[in-house]
A and B are shown apart, each in its own frame.
Chain A
Amino acid sequence: MAKEKEKTTYSTGAALLLESLVNQGVEIIFGYPGGAVLPIYDALLNTSIRHVLPRHEQTAVHAADAYARVSGEVGVCLATSGPGATNLVTGIATAYMDSVPIVVLTGQVPTSLLGTDSFQEVDIAGITLPITKHSYIVKDPRDIPRIVKEAFHIASTGRPGPVLIDLPKNVLAEENVVPKPAELDLPSYKFFTKGNAGQIEEAVRVIKESERPVLYAGGGVITAEASEVLQEVVEITNIPVVTTLMGIGSMPSDHPNVLGMVGMHGTVAANHAVNDCDLLIAVGVRFDDRVTSGLGQRFATNAKIIHIDVDPAEIGKVVRAHVPIVGSAKLVLEEIKENLTPPKCEEWWTRIRTWIEEKPQEDPNILTPQAIIKELGNIAKDDAIVTTDVGQHQMWAAQGYPVKNPRHFITSAGLGTMGFGLPAAIGAQIAAPDKQVFLVTGDGSFQMSIQELATTVQCDLPVKIILMNNGVLGMVRQLQKLFLDERYSQIQLKDNPDFIKVAEAYGIKGIRVTEVSQIRQALEDAINHPGPILLDFIISEDEVVTPMVPPGKKLTEMLGR
């Protein structure tokens, strides 16, 4: 009898926490230990959950984020109180901006010390208030199962986002906890799935009557698993498609209807098409200023706008939608598809074709970033995952890499977080151990997470690092070059280390590439190498990302091609 009872009680709050995570299907936690979370690390010794130990908490949260983006599951990370928790902030903001479902666990000082400026105490729930979808401070260990369940529910439903659970040490350490039932108690939480039938009918009508329609697909399509139905809608209607940075992979990039990325570094065809369309079907997008140039109501002025989004607050935030539809992209597109009459857009395509042009051929003897990305696209498997850092290299990858599938291009779009790339590659490779994972990075960004080379080794993660080494903070240099009369300020990374030697110090193979003719061989070597590898591509500091819509200009006022 006594034995039986022991089974239903749990020794500690920490053990109950891990049990609750297992009940949510959690298999892996990215975390970093410390005093306040000792009870969790002790309890970890007795669970099936795998724990990955990076070299910085920011990596833990970025990796959990990328794990979520690749797998579609909720990512979980863990840090101790105080500095451990504050080191998560950039990663939480990154996930928040890109609507990625993660659950963030932070240690906290004991409740008796809360509010007393005690050692390693910060109000992390307060600090992260604007960058979390919701947060909890656990006061009673018996609530842990409910709170964990709620956190996963909130993180993954509606518009996904990070949820933080702050766990005071005494709550984690309390023994013989008899949990309260793990039932959702969220009377005010609501989210939308099915779109309004009348609006859907109206959407079908305006699509039928349109002459120059464009479909503008974003991250919401990928999150909602709507890629398949999107492609069906496109094939029934023959509507051209542009994607956002987050929407890359929502349609196969080589699909004949895909015009490429729209916005600041979008393609000529995509930008002209959006500017001239008479109907913009916006799905899972938020009219970010990287797309609209911050023009707001002056964006795509010739067009009626159908705006489909799961978050009602996105509709009408930047532009007025003529047909607003709140709901999951998948369910809404499925219903639209049911009654769809294709518009007549042959003439429109004739016009669009005049905008589709090959990028001007660069000098074939120069090692250009475009040549590297192109070769990578040729040689990587169709289901390879590419993660990026932030800067010019990110845009070259976005423009040039042929992404075939959703959840296969992982980039920090909304926050633009340098240092995201290597942690993201780690999270991606763990989520998809059998796939090729390439990191496209720059020498600035790479050095914000370079210590994580150790994690790739420790966890046996064969990520292939494509370093576009231009010796400068290229994207900032480009802005200074184009808009500040070449007055370069603080963009030189003159005393960069020898990255090959750095890699070797971590036990990682490195290959330097200086000639176009070496690209193919180097990439093949990387793919055939069983472990992680670094390819150090030496490129010119003077390369620029084009086309470029200067801030505040219309999409058609692009510099370069």
Chain B
Amino acid sequence: MQHTLVVLVENNPGVLTRVAGLFARRAYNISSLTVCQTENPAISRMTIVVDGDDTVIEQVMKQLHKLVVVHKVLDLTEETVVERELALVRVKVKSDTRLEILQIVDVFRGRVVDMGRTNLTVELTGDAEKIDAFVRTIRPFGLMELVRTGKIAMTRLDS
């Protein structure tokens, strides 16, 4: 099962290597990993999507905790969360497909960020399923290039 872990780490050189190295040598599978500074510049936030059963995830979290530079580890899998991913998708267009593609982009609430004679580039945010669905729909038209940021996530606060 896929788990979404949030790992708060000290913003030091070498931290990413330590975390990534741990996953590699203990044979854990990372599906995606994003890193960025947080509101506190001394702390970076990693969102790691990792595959594994509960025992594996428990080990991953404990091993991460042991790293001197790791501040906090949270498993968001069971939480209610807001999760987003950003994708840039470049697709082939011809004069007879342009309209249909633009309609699809619209349905998915994407935004065209670059348009050429033979292609256009779409920016899309949403959860992984939405992006998967968009890519599936657009692929038959000629998918040229795809970049995805990987998931970022935050728990919802009940107000």
Listed in ascending order, the chain A residues whose CB lies under 8 Å from chain B are 125-126, 129-130, 133-134, 137, 154, 186-190, 311-313, 316-317
B155 → chain A closest CB, angstroms: 20
Contact A126 B17 (CB under 8 A): yes
Interface string of B37-72 (1 = CB under 8 A from A): 000001000000000000100110011011011111
Question: Who on chain B is nearest to A314 by CB?
Answer: B62
State which of B9, B17, B68, B70 has its C-beta within 8 Å of the C-beta of A154: B68
Contact A129 B18 (CB under 8 A): yes
In the complex, B116 has a CB within 8 A of chain A: no
Contact A134 B68 (CB under 8 A): yes
A299 → chain B closest CB, angstroms: 15
In the complex, B117 has a CB within 8 A of chain A: no
In the complex, B140 has a CB within 8 A of chain A: no
Docked CA distance A126–B17 (Å)? 8
Docked CA distance A190–B70 (Å)? 10
Residues of A within 8 A of B71 (CB): 187-188
Residues of B within 8 A of A316 (CB): 55, 58-59, 62
Chain B interface: which size bin? 20 to 34
Contact B59 A130 (CB under 8 A): no
State which of A187, A190, A312, A317 has its C-beta within 8 Å of the C-beta of B10: A187
In the complex, B142 has a CB within 8 A of chain A: no
Contact B68 A186 (CB under 8 A): yes
Given contacts A189-B68, A313-B63, A317-B59, contact A130 B10 (CB under 8 A): no
B71 → chain A closest CB, angstroms: 4
Given contacts A125-B14, A129-B18, A313-B62, contact A188 B69 (CB under 8 A): yes
Residues of A within 8 A of B21 (CB): 129-130
Residues of B within 8 A of A317 (CB): 59
State which of B10, B25, B65 has its C-beta within 8 Å of the C-beta of A313: B65
Docked CA distance A186–B25 (Å)? 25
Given contacts A187-B71, A316-B58, A316-B59, contact A129 B10 (CB under 8 A): no
Docked CA distance A154–B67 (Å)? 11
B16 → chain A closest CB, angstroms: 12
A126 → chain B closest CB, angstroms: 7
A154 → chain B closest CB, angstroms: 6
Contact A130 B69 (CB under 8 A): no
Contact B25 A312 (CB under 8 A): no
Contacts A312-B62, A313-B59, A316-B58 supplied; 17 other A-B pairs, CB < 8 Å? A125-B14, A129-B17, A130-B21, A130-B25, A134-B68, A137-B14, A187-B71, A188-B9, A188-B10, A188-B71, A189-B68, A190-B65, A312-B65, A313-B62, A313-B63, A316-B59, A317-B59
B32 → chain A closest CB, angstroms: 22
A/B interface sample: 27 pairs, CB < 8 A = A125-B14, A126-B17, A129-B18, A129-B21, A130-B21, A130-B25, A133-B68, A134-B68, A137-B14, A154-B68, A187-B42, A187-B71, A188-B69, A188-B70, A188-B72, A189-B68, A312-B62, A312-B65, A312-B66, A313-B59, A313-B62, A313-B63, A313-B65, A313-B66, A316-B58, A316-B62, A317-B59
Residues of B within 8 A of A130 (CB): 21, 25
Question: Who on chain B is nearest to A317 by CB?
Answer: B59
Docked CA distance A133–B22 (Å)? 12
Contact B66 A311 (CB under 8 A): yes
Residues of B within 8 A of A313 (CB): 59, 62-63, 65-66
Question: Who on chain A is nearest to B24 by CB?
Answer: A130
Docked CA distance A317–B55 (Å)? 8
Docked CA distance A121–B98 (Å)? 56
Docked CA distance A154–B72 (Å)? 18
Docked CA distance A189–B66 (Å)? 8
Residues of B within 8 A of A126 (CB): 17
A97 → chain B closest CB, angstroms: 14
B106 → chain A closest CB, angstroms: 46
B78 → chain A closest CB, angstroms: 18
Residues of B within 8 A of A134 (CB): 68
Question: Who on chain B is nearest to A189 by CB?
Answer: B68
Residues of A within 8 A of B68 (CB): 133-134, 154, 186, 188-189
Docked CA distance A154–B66 (Å)? 11
Docked CA distance A317–B59 (Å)? 7
Residues of A within 8 A of B14 (CB): 125, 137
Docked CA distance A154–B9 (Å)? 17
Question: Who on chain A is nearest to B63 by CB?
Answer: A313
Docked CA distance A539–B25 (Å)? 41
Residues of A within 8 A of B63 (CB): 313
Residues of B within 8 A of A189 (CB): 68
A159 → chain B closest CB, angstroms: 8
Question: Who on chain A is nearest to B25 by CB?
Answer: A130
Question: Who on chain A is nearest to B55 by CB?
Answer: A316
Docked CA distance A192–B9 (Å)? 20
Residues of A within 8 A of B72 (CB): 188
Question: Who on chain B is nearest to A133 by CB?
Answer: B68
Docked CA distance A557–B55 (Å)? 29
Docked CA distance A133–B66 (Å)? 9
Docked CA distance A119–B72 (Å)? 40
